[in-house]
Chain A
Amino acid sequence: MVALQLGGAPAATLGEVRNRADLVIFWGSNPADNHPRHFARYSGTAKGRFTPKGRKDRYVVVADIRETPSMKYADESIRVAPGHDYEIFTVMRMLTKGIEVEAEEIGGVKVATLAALVERCKKARMGVLFFGQGITETRGKHQNSVAIYQFGKDMNRHSKFLTMPMRGHYNVVGSGNTMCWQTGYPFAVNFGRGYPQFNPGEFSVVDLLPCRLRGRRTGWITWRSGCRRCWSRPGPRTTCRWRRSSRGSRNCARRRRGKRMALSIINGEVVDPAHGEDRVPRAVHIREGKVVADAGSGAAVIDARGCVVMAGGVDIHTHVAGPKVNFARLMTPEDHRYDHISREGGYERSGTGGVAATVFTTGYRYAELGYTTIVEPAVPPLGARHAHEELFDIPMTDKAMFVLLGNSEIVHQYLEKGEKAKLTEYLAWIVDAAKAYSVKIVNPGGANLWKYRGNLHDLDEKMRDFAVTPRQIITGISDAMTELGMPHPLHLHCNNLGIPDSYKTVLATIKALEGRQIHLTHLQFNSYGAGGKRKFNSMAPALADAVNQNLNVTVDVGQVIFGKTVTITADGPFEYHLHQITGSKWYNGDVECEDGCGVVPYDYKRKSFVNSVQWAAGLELFLLIDDPWRVYLTTDHPNAGPFMSYPHIIRMLMDKDYRREQAEKISAEARSEIPLKVLEREYSLYEIAIITRAATAKRLGLANKGHLGAGADADVTIYRKSSNYEEMFAKPAYVIKNGEVVVKDGKVVKHVEGATYYVKPERGRADIQADLENFFENYYTVNLANYPVGLEYLRDPVEAACGASAA
């Protein structure tokens, strides 16, 4: 765990091992005894798509300090001396890099044996090293795992190579995940100060319990009286905190939908672009969680004099939940350390922040910015259950999630065979199985090649395993979605993201779409050319032109914010590229049959030419796309920066002097290339209301969001007017969720839970049951029956209209 926090790792789900691995190494792990069915289900005799002969298609190596039962099943056994893993893997890294090793033997193993193993790894189609717990129990502890992960990363220069721990008894991975999304840390957490703190040498069971209890895994709740540490607030204080809190928590059952009281917001200026209202002095009335024409007598009154009144913000694209977001949390413990919210600070649940904040922090902070609906845009179907578990916990906002299908092998298979009806039926099935709201494609086809360390670069390039091109994937899925009548059209992260000339791919994609409805996400990351002295420039103006001309296209920007962040994307090859450039931590997580994923922390620097061009490109998109109904405010949180910077961006858009001031600070070379018009235009409040709520809600097809007409959900944000727009938008005077005041003066005053939106497309276009059974039986590691996510995983599920019912 600590090793993962320190550096990340190249990994994948076990189905990838089943389908592709032709070299499997067990290092200090003994599956025959400890994970009895691992070999049969995933790593040994298991047959998969490219391992049809099972055991015969794999070379298996077992390395251990003693003779183990697993060695019976191996092609090669290596005996190592105890406590030398660090040296051995350091030598393996040297051998991988072609550095000569003088010693003949290291840790009881001949260097020649290690060299042969390294050569085998380099030649593997996909190699995987499973290491056991024993590794961390010797000298060096987690540094041994770090060495193994580093070896894996080095090996990825030569072959697809994964390094994965085989965790001990019970599902410790699962509990670590839950702890991580709620506290920011996977184990050894202490809440003594009212917020989560992490210190493995202090708060772990090993450090807290007398030695004789160590190793007992059945303990559930253990306690120890008598304080030995000053932070634990001994004596009556602890007791008192508990009593007070316990009274508060009895309200839990009642807090879900709140008290639906009547409320009138008077004297404010209403900005409601959906109804063409621009600072109209009128009252907004609320009853039973809805905006109504008349609140009736006895309604509470909010005097909004000197304020603008808008619908609650709607974020169309923000990575806030799911397996890869949780990996980002795991990998940034240093970020959580100094940024936290506590119960004593008035929040019902404590949490940690940083760019990859925990679930509670995320919900509170969105609400404190006046946002009341957020969309997690990138969940592989296999991760849907996990994503919903996290969404369930995010308070204060309504939520929805998009499912990733652009690299789904079932989709590819149907496209290859030209089976359109089956493709549409599969889409209907999978959207329902994942309880998703819409579909996203990331780097279509790219993940397939990435499973062999490659990527693809052209819309008409075929994948390796299927004779299908990105063009076919995009148009095929788009047509299926139209047929199903999905409320939000295809959400697309284009090919070639992040590299020079990526703008050409966008232009080609728009052309390939031939007028189909499309949302191009975080377009900034795809708006680069290869011009100029440095062979890298912003081509955002060309893209803005294309968007202006093609009315079927909407975009969100993904504005770069200078400072530290963490990038999270299903675009596995891009993340590897970023890891190569920056040398930063890197996690890779290929998802069997479905997609890829990568996580790399990143620091956007003002003085960097490239980062400055990226920063400017974002602003150019905002300011050169004429129709605000088709360009939305995002930072692709946290990829280009945290959502907490929205007020700063709003000020840059509304205040050209401020924008100029900011531009003064970036690389001079990049600044000189910014077109003049970008420096002149200013957004109005009305336009800001469009790009942050009215247009996003409309594009999402959320009819009750983003406006203040009668019948709208009573999600309202009241901003105190100021000429400093950053301050104005950072600290709303009031936020009303579902008819209740939940934020006052930019601070949460009430914890509420939001609803989860999903769609249930109509089924019955074709029979795909046999295909599904076949696919799950042969290529997945999960049972088909266990795959669909039930509604019980969703907090207050709301089925949105889809298909005929939407018309």
Chain B
Amino acid sequence: MAEAVRMEDGTKVFENVVCPFCATLCDDLTVHVKDNQVTKVNGCNLCKGVFLNAHKDWTRPMIGGEETEYEEAVEEAAQILARAHNPLIFGLSATDVEAQKKCIELADLIGANLDNASSV
């Protein structure tokens, strides 16, 4: 995506962001981010509700909510998957294609079930 980023008094401003929250897929959002917090977004209420309340920082590795190292988190995830008899990978719809591809590859690798929100 051609997201332009500029700085405005300590706030990062992203332009032409695609909104992932409903199938309208508006791609004209301007998102202001300060201290890793979304402070302003020009979408509809649905979009604002989700963007502005995106508190949790999911970019750090965690096991059961406790922060840890990547290696350990990956090991733990692998253990869980290896122990599973009939795993299910579900979701995919709020992420990008690259991540979707990785999920499918993982499902292929471990013989999992794979599903998205089509069925709920």
Contact = CB atoms under 8 A, between A and B. Distances in A.
B118 interface: yes
A171 B27 contact: no
B114 A189 contact: yes
Nearest to B46: A36
B24 A208 contact: no
Contacts of A193: 111
A607 interface: no
Contact of A37 (B24, B78, B113): B24
Contacts of A188: 113, 115, 118-119
Given A170-B20, A214-B120, A232-B85, A36 B90 contact: no
A55 B107 CA distance: 46
A498 to B, nearest CB: 34
Contacts, number: 215
Interface stretch (B31-39, B59-67, B94-102): B94-102
Contacts of A194: 111
Contact of B114 (A183, A223, A234): A183
Contacts of A203: 113-115
Given A175-B93, A183-B114, A224 B88 contact: yes
A344 to B, nearest CB: 10
A205 B101 contact: no
Interface residues on A, range: 35 or more
Interface of B: 1-2, 4, 15-16, 18, 20-28, 43-47, 78, 80-95, 97, 100-101, 103-105, 107-120
Contacts of A182: 101, 104
Contacts of A245: 109-110
A420 interface: no
Given A170-B117, A171-B25, A228-B86, A192 B111 contact: yes
A786 B1 contact: yes
Nearest to A227: B85
A169 B102 CA distance: 22
Q: Which of A37, A166, A176, A224 has the most CB of B within 10 A?
A: A37
B112 A191 contact: yes
A209 B85 contact: no
B18 A786 contact: yes
A45 to B, nearest CB: 14
Contact of B108 (A187, A233, A343): A343
Contact of A204 (B86, B105, B119): B119
A35 B25 CA distance: 9
A190 B87 contact: no
Contacts of B107: 189, 191
A215 interface: yes
Given A189-B107, A228-B86, A169 B22 contact: yes
| Interface-central residue, A167, A179, A188, A788, by most chain B CB under 10 Å | A179
B87 A223 contact: yes
Interface string A601-617: 00000000000000000
B116 A223 contact: no
Contacts of A186: 116, 118
B88 A223 contact: yes
Interface in A225-243: 225-229, 232-235, 238-239, 241-243
A122 interface: no
Interface in A158-200: 166-176, 178-179, 182-183, 186-194, 196, 200
Interface of A: 1, 34-38, 41-42, 166-176, 178-179, 182-183, 186-194, 196, 200, 203-206, 208-209, 214-215, 217-229, 232-235, 238-239, 241-243, 245-246, 249, 343, 349-350, 389, 393, 782-783, 785-786, 788, 790
A204 B20 CA distance: 23
A218 B23 contact: no
Nearest to A195: B108
B16 A783 contact: yes
27 contacts: A34-B46, A36-B46, A37-B24, A42-B24, A167-B23, A169-B21, A170-B20, A170-B21, A174-B100, A175-B91, A175-B116, A187-B119, A190-B113, A191-B111, A191-B112, A205-B90, A208-B113, A220-B90, A223-B81, A226-B86, A232-B111, A238-B82, A245-B109, A343-B108, A393-B101, A783-B28, A785-B15
Contacts of A187: 115-116, 118-119
A242 B82 contact: yes
Interface centre among A188, A189, A203 (most CB of B within 10 A): A189
Given A35-B23, A167-B23, A224-B84, A233 B111 contact: yes
Contacts of B117: 168-170, 172, 175, 217
B77 to A, nearest CB: 8
Nearest to B83: A225
Contact of B116 (A172, A222, A225, A228): A172
A592 to B, nearest CB: 14
Given A175-B93, A176-B116, A206-B119, A224 B87 contact: yes
Given A170-B22, A208-B113, A223-B80, 13 more contacts: A169-B22, A169-B93, A179-B92, A179-B104, A191-B114, A205-B90, A205-B119, A209-B88, A219-B91, A221-B90, A241-B110, A782-B27, A785-B16
B112 A166 contact: no
A242 B109 contact: yes
Contact of A172 (B16, B46, B93): B93
Nearest to B86: A232
Contact of B118 (A41, A176, A227, A785): A176
Contacts of B27: 782-783, 786
B43 A170 contact: no
B91 A218 contact: yes
A172, A206, A249, A782 pick with most chain B CB within 10 angstroms: A172
A779 to B, nearest CB: 15
A194 B97 CA distance: 23
A35 B22 contact: yes
A238 B94 contact: no
Closest CB pairs A-B (n = 7): A36-B44, A204-B119, A175-B92, A170-B93, A187-B118, A223-B87, A227-B85
A194 B107 CA distance: 10
A460 B8 CA distance: 56
A227 B86 contact: yes
Contacts of B119: 187-188, 200, 204-206
Contacts of A782: 27
B91 A229 contact: no
B52 to A, nearest CB: 15
Among A214, A215, A782, max chain B CB count under 10 A is at A782
A37 B25 CA distance: 9
A759 to B, nearest CB: 21
Contacts of B16: 783, 785-786
Contacts of A200: 119
Contact of A38 (B24, B87, B100, B118): B24
A167 B1 CA distance: 23
A178 B97 contact: yes
Contacts of A225: 83-86
